[in-house]
Chain A
């Protein structure tokens, strides 16, 4: 809530004094701009970049979703592209796949880094080396990492890395990306391995901010490791946990490169088709840029919903 010095209004009790004298707050816009010339100049650069590369394409995409272009002629078609895209037999499959991937990514990709961070935090020696080891996969270009999985780990023959391990353990082997039931878990596994390092570092930073006295007090009360995690670690890191969960949802719902590389697109049938991949397929394989734009807008609305929750959580943390 803004603090005002307009005569006749009263300052709320307990609020601090404004940082500047009231006369300064009434300066003209031109004066304000002049006072902060350097900042504004840098801001213009950023704004131009955002406008050209983010906002304009977004607005253009929304406009295109209500148009259709045939023979170079563009006409307004209202909601036609939306109804058509929703009638696409792959539409609900793509959403189902995307939500399934997001759910698995939350279970695996969200929980695993947290526990890895706790483990790393417990180590007194070689912590630096272990951090590097955990972070290394993040430094690999995603395409390279995924090709490693595609050709070596997920090779459906017995020569594949995972199948060789399973065979050595006398467990049944899998066809991995070729098996419709394994497509999503296999993609989450690869994605978790690739992206875990960044989340682990954030969790580690949060864990190291927890006052040591809380653990000492818990230990004095006889708490074991699980009770310490439950009653100290999780409550102390709950905001970071919530924020990362939201970021994880927003990021994983944009699933694209994994199906593209690991499953050569749609995978078996439509088992790997994500919403982002369906947009790509409509736009670049089916010559239907308007349908792709409509689907993009639908995705934007869904992600905006999650982002709104994220913004609320961030505000709470501030």
Chain B
């Protein structure tokens, strides 16, 4: 059979093109860690995306300035979209081995990162020489990223939860904006008054999907003095009177008082969308929730204030603390690790620079004055400097957070395998928020079985 030449050529071109495109898909970096001129290159993720124009400009300015100060280091920034705040994306990149040299992770991610075998032990590299403010960083946060005495990440942000409330709705409902509820009974009473305003307003709103339900269950459990896991971390410890009380409070508000609105199965953005639209009276969250309401969901800073996390009968016994840090990919050269630490020190851990450059952030309307990130230990030099700069440049009303700051609740860290446990606990939260006949005992028992199983798997 004679084959016309042009068809042969087309076929060969097709195969060659396919081969080339497959080669192009390869994720292996072709950047040498150190080039001929002796420059060290590191890739770093979480560069703001194009839509975040000012944040992106700030990031790029920081890169230029840092490289000017460190001419031997080249920072290659990578924008990975949702990866920096989306557990499934993060898991996919981790499993696929496509994380950057220096990569972002939640404080809850240590176990997962260690399991993947991708994290480097950076204990010997982290000190005052590589990070000048290292001695000021809260030791508890260093502990979160430490396993078996080895440090695997540098903490760069920390938060704790409180009661976020809408001052406008408080006023309309005849509540005292300077005296937010301190117990769950008071939350319930206030929620009833706010929801009585009608027009689809929820007095109190709560998550129950996308891991956020389990996250908040944990915080509410801590407020009662409970814990998600036993002290040795080997068994679930929420199927008890405190766990039941957490779910009972919510069930009472949802179906006893009808003060939680009709739409449930909410994830992070769902609740904040409703809040931005002025349809939520109260919810529990970290101070940066108000920032998201303003920057992403068209809300106003002046409408929102924060109080401490309510307790069952008095002050909350503890509140959930969490945050984020940067890991280092296994296999980096010592020069790359040191370069990465220098960059993090500059962009994340130096008062007056990077994320703490309040002079730059103020005119950009990027909120300055929120009581976080709580990175530096109380009374440390870095903390004093950071607080001083924050107060001098505040562009949000710090009085809105004064009650929260004046009534600190002890911070308790997230449990081991937190994201997996939160996923399981979502079902218990959605159960009481969407089913008036939900059996709380059965929901907790099922969740307990699942968590025990996943802990057995993880051990």
Are A and B interaction partners?
yes
Query: Which A residues are closer than 8 A to B by beta carbons?
Result: 35-38, 41-42, 44-45, 48-49, 52, 69-73, 84, 87-90, 155-157, 159, 175, 177-180, 263-270, 280-281, 283-289, 291
Instruction: Sort A-B residue pairs by CB-CB distance and give the 3 closest, nearest first.
Output: A72-B117, A264-B209, A41-B11
Complexed CA–CA distance, A42 and B17 (Å): 12
Which residues of B have CB within 8 Å of A36? 1
Q: A284-B91, A287-B419 are in contact. Are A266 and B117 (CB under 8 A)?
A: no
Which residues of A have CB within 8 Å of B426? 265-266
Are B11 and A37 touching (Cβ within 8 A)? yes
Q: CB < 8 Å: which of B1, B114, B267, B417 contacts A264?
A: B267
Residue of B nearest to A44 (CB): B15
Are A287 and B265 touching (Cβ within 8 A)? no
Is the C-beta of B454 less than 8 angstroms from some C-beta in chain A? yes
Q: A159-B200, A280-B88, A287-B91 are in contact. Are A177 and B265 (CB under 8 A)?
A: yes
Are B431 and A285 touching (Cβ within 8 A)? no
Are B430 and A267 touching (Cβ within 8 A)? yes
Is the C-beta of B263 less than 8 angstroms from some C-beta in chain A? yes
Q: In the complex, what's the smallest C-beta–C-beta distance from B178 to chain A, in angstroms?
A: 32
**B71-106 interface code vs A (CB 8 A; 1 in, 0 out):** 000000000000000011001100100000000000
Q: A44-B15, A284-B91, A286-B423 are in contact. Are A89 and B450 (CB under 8 A)?
A: yes
Q: In the complex, what's the smallest C-beta–C-beta distance from A277 to chain B, in angstroms?
A: 11
Are B14 and A287 touching (Cβ within 8 A)? no
Complexed CA–CA distance, A179 and B435 (Å): 7
Which residues of A have CB within 8 Å of B330? 72
Complexed CA–CA distance, A291 and B265 (Å): 26
Q: A45-B14, A89-B446, A289-B95 are in contact. Are A265 and B210 (CB under 8 A)?
A: yes
Q: Can you name 6 extra interface pairs (CB under 8 A) apart from A36-B1, A89-B453, A287-B417?
A: A35-B1, A44-B15, A89-B446, A178-B263, A268-B265, A283-B95
Are A265 and B11 touching (Cβ within 8 A)? no
Chain B interface secondary structure, helix, strand, loop or mixed? helix
Which residues of B have CB within 8 Å of A180? 434-435
Residue of B nearest to A40 (CB): B11
Residue of B nearest to A154 (CB): B263
Which residues of B have CB within 8 Å of A285? 87-88, 91, 211, 419-420, 423
Which residues of B have CB within 8 Å of A177? 265
Complexed CA–CA distance, A38 and B14 (Å): 11
Are A156 and B112 touching (Cβ within 8 A)? no
Chain B: interface size category: 35 or more
Are A156 and B3 touching (Cβ within 8 A)? no
Are A41 and B91 touching (Cβ within 8 A)? no
Is the C-beta of B399 less than 8 angstroms from some C-beta in chain A? no
Complexed CA–CA distance, A89 and B424 (Å): 11
Complexed CA–CA distance, A35 and B18 (Å): 23
Which residues of B have CB within 8 Å of A155? 263
Complexed CA–CA distance, A317 and B7 (Å): 34
Q: In the complex, what's the smallest C-beta–C-beta distance from A255 to chain B, in angstroms?
A: 17
Q: A269-B435, A291-B457 are in contact. Are A41 and B22 (CB under 8 A)?
A: no
Complexed CA–CA distance, A156 and B261 (Å): 10
Which residues of A have CB within 8 Å of B95? 283, 289
Q: Mind listing 14 A-B residue pairs with CB under 8 Å?
A: A37-B8, A72-B116, A72-B330, A89-B450, A177-B265, A179-B434, A180-B435, A269-B427, A269-B435, A269-B438, A286-B424, A287-B112, A287-B417, A288-B420
Residue of A nearest to B430 (CB): A268
Which residues of A have CB within 8 Å of B270? 264
Which residues of B have CB within 8 Å of A38? 3, 7-8, 11
Residue of A nearest to B426 (CB): A266
Which residues of A have CB within 8 Å of B88? 280, 284-285
Q: In the complex, what's the smallest C-beta–C-beta distance from B439 to chain A, in angstroms?
A: 10
Complexed CA–CA distance, A95 and B349 (Å): 49
Is the C-beta of B176 less than 8 angstroms from some C-beta in chain A? no
Q: In the complex, what's the smallest C-beta–C-beta distance from B211 to chain A, in angstroms?
A: 6
Complexed CA–CA distance, A3 and B181 (Å): 86
Complexed CA–CA distance, A69 and B88 (Å): 18
Which residues of B have CB within 8 Å of A264? 209-210, 265-267, 270
Q: A48-B22, A291-B457 are in contact. Are A41 and B427 (CB under 8 A)?
A: no
Residue of B nearest to A287 (CB): B112
Complexed CA–CA distance, A291 and B453 (Å): 12
Residue of B nearest to A273 (CB): B427
Which residues of B have CB within 8 Å of A89? 446, 449-450, 453
Q: CB < 8 Å: which of A37, A41, A45, A88 contacts B450?
A: A88
**B255-266 interface code vs A (CB 8 A; 1 in, 0 out):** 000000011111
Which residues of B have CB within 8 Å of A159? 200
Q: In the complex, what's the smallest C-beta–C-beta distance from A52 to chain B, in angstroms?
A: 6
Q: A266-B430, A280-B88 are in contact. Are A37 and B3 (CB under 8 A)?
A: yes
**B10-49 interface code vs A (CB 8 A; 1 in, 0 out):** 0110110011001000000000000000000000000000
Complexed CA–CA distance, A89 and B451 (Å): 10
Max chain B C-beta neighbours (<10 A), residue from A156, A179, A264: A264
Are A73 and B117 touching (Cβ within 8 A)? yes
Are A90 and B18 touching (Cβ within 8 A)? no
Q: CB < 8 Å: which of B12, B15, B200, B446 contacts A157?
A: B200
Which residues of B have CB within 8 Å of A280? 88
Is the C-beta of B144 less than 8 angstroms from some C-beta in chain A? no
Q: A45-B15, A72-B117 are in contact. Are A87 and B265 (CB under 8 A)?
A: no
Are B450 and A90 touching (Cβ within 8 A)? yes
Residue of A nearest to B200 (CB): A157
